[in-house]
Chain A
Amino acid sequence: MRLALSVFKDCISTVFDAADQFLIVETDGTNNYRRISEKFLATDPTGRAAQLKNQSVDVLICGAISRPMQFAIISQGITVHSFIRGEVNHIIEAYQNNQLGGTAFLLPGCRRRARGNGFGKERGVRCRWR
């Protein structure tokens, strides 16, 4: 399972569309995981979505994201947890513990959207560290 987080310094980048870097966190199903830092090669939705797909990313955690960008990434079969903020380590821990929906991790004004895949995903769906 590969989790990608768009990052700026040690935090989730506020705007995914403008982010330069992302961090891939890979787990083998146990508590062991390794981190790989990557740069985005494209700024357009299809280019970014393709890069994440090529990196075999299963889940993306990011800050504010525009709709076309989110549609493009979801269309690649990647689950998107959008409008998230906070320090990367806290976010990874929250994701592992299914606590990403907590208000502390959501950007102001975005409670309705930050529920994994953003559009129409039902409340209560749990994110799991497979």
Chain B
Amino acid sequence: MIGEDQNIILDSIADGVFTVDNDWRITSFNNAAEKITGVTRAEAIGQLCKDVLKADICEKNCCLRATMKTGEQIINKKVNIINAEGHKLPISISTALLRDKKGKLLGAVETFRDISIEENLRKVIAQKYNFADIISKNHKMLRLFDIMPDIADSGSSVLIEGESGTGKELIARAIHHLSSRKKAPFIAVNCSALPDTLLESELFGYKAGAFTDAKKDKPGRFKLAENGTLFLDEIGEITTAMQVKLLRVLQEKTYEPLGATESLQHNVRMIAATNRKLEEMVKEGRFREDLFYRINVFKISLPPLRERMEDVPLLTDHFIDRFNTLQKKNIEGVSEEAMSVLMAYSYPGNIRELANIIERAFVLCKAGIIEKKHLPDFLSARQSHDINHKAESLRDAARVHLSNILKQNNWNCPQTARQLGIHKSTLYRKIKSLGIKIPG
């Protein structure tokens, strides 16, 4: 139905375009459609359009079917597709009928545009993250995802423990957006950034005249978070005096702004986070036991990135997508050599550090693939110090990664297997197949 000339025209269009006959079989498929769906023209032609597009509306609310039935165009309808790589992509589709010169119905045409950039930007601006935005295939994280909706529903206080850069605020935001409080504000306060007096006025607010320069009332974060969620980051850093005040606020569900004579009621869910071991601080007498039990109704422990190294390739892809969106670049990925360097590093700064490494690589890499030379020198230096050979393939990268984790666990196989979430016999099989030699 579509000639060579028409194909050239279709291929010059930035939007995906395909046409179907009256049996929903694809008769033409342009370059942009190949790129968005991950399906080549040769694979697509002659197939049912639903099998190629794989949109969530294909079976029950097909736009082409609606257009064929009513004759009316559909313009810019937002749907989600799953591309050949398993990525869910938001697209905007438009449909129209296809007729020949005599007006005889030949089929229909669908144009579609990848709107993931707009959607990602919207998400970054709104910071409305949900669990689908937390990227992991680590077994500890997946177990965490299992219980998250129940934790969100419960409305109880939550304590999130994890090293700096492990995504504590992201988890807190996700809990908020999953809970019944999602329409109310999520307010975050970093407790370590403010001295006691300022923290008190920041949390509870003050009345006009409470102190010099307090010319009018200022609402505190508790007031701003009313009916919503208050996220107290670095709660392990607050002083004992502040701990007492906070305990009272949690127990009584009331607080007093500075200079106020009356207490105010609040309806705020509290999520606290710390990079310290609060339990140990309680034992050492540096954190009040009663406050600890108040905030520790649910405890979430986020593993550091070095304990979920299988997530490094996924997170790297995610950051590349994000920086491509934000910086309007078109970096395609990382080379195998660069990935083996990334996999061999221990990330003391966790996911934030990986994000910074990728952001830095974006500055140096103008287009194409991020190579080893685009990564900071200290990564390569550490790698050559830690391992004796260069990883040249995915198999090498796996060997390097497994050797590093075994080293971290003092070559203790059962402990390593537990960390990786695999059975120890699987680990022994991997050690044998990758040719790793265990000392002693």
Q: List chain A positions with a Cβ less than 8 A from chain B.
A: 8, 13-15, 17-18, 44-47, 49-50, 63-68, 70-72, 74-75, 82, 85, 107-110, 112-113, 118-119
CB distance from A44 to the nearest CB of B (A): 7
Q: Is the CB of B51 within 8 A of A45?
A: no
Question: Shortest CB–CB separation between residue B418 and chain A, in angstroms?
Answer: 16
Considering only CB atoms, which chain A residue lies closest to B137 in the complex?
A: A71
Total A-B pairs, Cβ < 8 A:
87
B184 at the interface (CB under 8 A from A): no
Which of A14, A18, A46 sits near B51, CB closer than 8 Å? A14
A45 touches B137 (CB 8 A): no
- Mark B residues whose CB is within 8 Å of A: 37-40, 43-44, 47, 50-52, 54-60, 80, 82, 84-88, 131-132, 135-137, 139, 142-143, 145-146, 148-149
Distance (Å) between the CB of A27 and the closest chain B CB?
A: 26
Chain A residue with Cβ nearest B46: A108
B residues in contact with A13, CB < 8 Å: 59
24 A-B pairs within 8 Å (CB atoms) are namely A14-B59, A15-B55, A15-B56, A15-B59, A17-B88, A18-B56, A18-B57, A44-B149, A46-B145, A50-B146, A65-B82, A67-B87, A68-B135, A71-B142, A72-B145, A108-B43, A109-B38, A109-B40, A109-B43, A112-B84, A113-B84, A113-B86, A118-B86, A119-B137
Q: How far is the CA of A8 from the CA of B48 in the complex (A)?
A: 15
A66 to chain B, nearest CB (A): 4
Other 14 A-B pairs with CB < 8 A, given A65-B86, A109-B84: A14-B59, A17-B82, A44-B132, A44-B149, A63-B54, A64-B54, A66-B88, A68-B135, A70-B86, A72-B145, A107-B51, A109-B37, A109-B44, A113-B86
Complex Cα distance A82/B82, Å?
12
Q: Which of A67, A85, A108 contacts B86 (CB 8 A)?
A: A67
From B54, B55, B143, B148, residue with most partner A Cβ within 10 Å = B54
* Closest Cβ–Cβ distance, residue A108 to chain B (whole Å): 4
- Listed from nearest, the 7 A-B pairs whose CB atoms lie closest are A109-B39, A18-B56, A75-B142, A109-B84, A64-B82, A64-B54, A108-B43
A72 to B147, CA, bound (A): 12
A16 to chain B minimum Cβ distance, whole angstroms, is 8
Give bound CA distance, A64 to B87, whole Å.
10
Name the residue in A8, A17, A64 with the highest tally of chain B Cβ atoms < 10 Å from its Cβ.
A64
> A47 — which chain B residues lie within 8 A by C-beta?
149
Known: A46-B131, A109-B37. A17 touches B56 (CB 8 A): yes
Residues in A with CB closer than 8 Å to B47 are 108
Cα–Cα, bound, A75→B421 (Å): 10
- Minimum Cβ distance to chain B for residue A23 (Å): 15
Across the two chains, which residue of chain A brings its CB closest to B84?
A: A109
**Could you say which residues of chain A place their CB within 8 Å of the CB of B51?**
14, 85, 107-108
Which residues in B have their C-beta under 8 angstroms from that of A50? Answer: 146
Q: Once bound together, how far apart are the Cα atoms of A109 and B82, in whole Å? A: 11
How far is B308's CA from A75's CA once the two chains are assembled, in angstroms?
14
Q: Least Cβ distance of A46 to chain B in Å?
A: 5
State the CA gap A8–B116 with chains docked (Å): 28
Which chain B residue shows the least CB distance to A49?
Answer: B146
Interchain CB contact under 8 A, B82 and A15: yes
Q: How far is the CA of A70 from the CA of B314 in the complex (A)?
A: 14
CB-CB < 8 A to A15: which residues of B? 54-56, 58-59, 82
Question: CB within 8 A of A68: which of B44, B132, B146, B148?
Answer: B132
* Shortest Cβ distance from residue A17 to the other chain B in the assembled complex, whole angstroms: 7
Q: Of all chain A residues, which has the CB nearest B58?
A: A14
Report how far A44 CA is from B136 CA in the complex, Å: 15
**Chain A residues in 8 Å Cβ range of B58:** 14-15
Residue of B whose beta carbon sits closest to that of A72: B142
Chain A residues near B139 (CB, 8 Å)? Answer: 75
Tell me whether A108 and B44 are in contact (CB under 8 A). yes
Residue of B nearest to A8 (CB): B59
Docked CA distance A46–B101 (Å): 52
Determine if A14 and B88 form an interchain contact, defined as CB atoms under 8 angstroms apart.
no
Closest to A68 in B: B132
Cα(A22)–Cα(B254), bound, Å: 50
A108 and B82 contacting across the interface, CB-CB below 8 Å: no
B324 to chain A, nearest CB (A): 18
B86 touches A46 (CB 8 A): no
